[in-house]
Amino acid sequence: MAIELIKSTAQDKFTKEVCTGLTKSPQKELPSKYLYDAVGSALFEVISLLPEYGVTRAEERILGRHAARVVSELPAPVIVAELGSGAGKKTRVILEALSRKQPISYYPIEISSAALAMCQRELSDIKSISIVGFEREYLDGLL
C-alpha cells in the first residue's frame, strides 16, 4: 500500500480556524490575526487614537513616567522582544532610554507585516538600535 503525505497549506489552516471559530458556542469568534492586513493595521492605529480607546494612551503615560527607572534596573546587555508591537510607538520611550545606555537589539513580534513596516519606520531614527521583526504569532515569534 502506498501512502502519500499531503502537507497542510495556509488555506487549509485558515479554513479550519474560521470554521472552528464560527461554530464555537456560545460566542462565535474569528482569530484576530486574519484582521491585521495593511488596512486592518492602519485601522487599529486610528482606533487607538479615539477618545473612547484610552488603553494605548494609559500605557504610553505609564511607560513615559517610569522608563528611566525601568532601564536603570536592567543589567547590560539587554535584548528587547515585544509581542504585538504594532507600530512600536509605545515602546519608543523604553528603547530610547535603553539606547542612551547601550546598543539595543529589538525584536518586534507581530502578525501583521504592515505593522512591522510601520514599526521599522517609527523607530529607525533611534541611535544604536538594531531591529529584526518577526511576522509570527506570539509563541512562534519567541522561538
The 10s digit of each residue's pLDDT in 99-109 is 999 999 999 99
pLDDT score at 40: 85
How far, rounded to the nearest angstrom, does the alpha carbon of residue 60 sit from its chain's CA centroid? 15
Residue 115, in any domain of the structure? yes
Residue 101's domain is classified under what CATH number? 3.40.50.150
How far is the C-alpha of 62 from the C-alpha of 58, rounded, in Å? 6
pLDDT score at 80: 94
Full residue range of the structural domain in which residue 90 is found: 31-142
Residue 61, in any domain of the structure? yes
Q: How far apart are the first and last CA of the chain?
A: 38
Residue type, 18: V
pLDDT band (50, 70, 90) for residue 23: very high
How far is the C-alpha of 27 from the C-alpha of 10, rounded, in Å? 25
Q: Quick check: 3 pLDDT over 60?
A: no
Q: Quick check: 143 pLDDT over 80?
A: yes
pLDDT score at 56: 87
Count of structural domains, the chain: 1
Q: pLDDT of 41-93, one tens digit each?
A: 888 888 988 999 899 889 999 999 999 999 999 988 899 999 999 889 889 99
pLDDT band (50, 70, 90) for residue 127: confident
How far, rounded to the nearest angstrom, does the alpha carbon of residue 84 sit from its chain's CA centroid? 2
Residue 75, in any domain of the structure? yes
pLDDT score at 98: 94
Residue 2, in any domain of the structure? no
Q: Quick check: 1 pLDDT over 50?
A: no
pLDDT band (50, 70, 90) for residue 4: very low
Selection from 96, 97, 105, 109 nearest residue 130 by Cα = 105
Q: The C-alpha cell of 138 is what?
A: 506570539
Q: How confident is the prediction for the chain on average, in pLDDT?
A: 87
Residue 14, in any domain of the structure? no
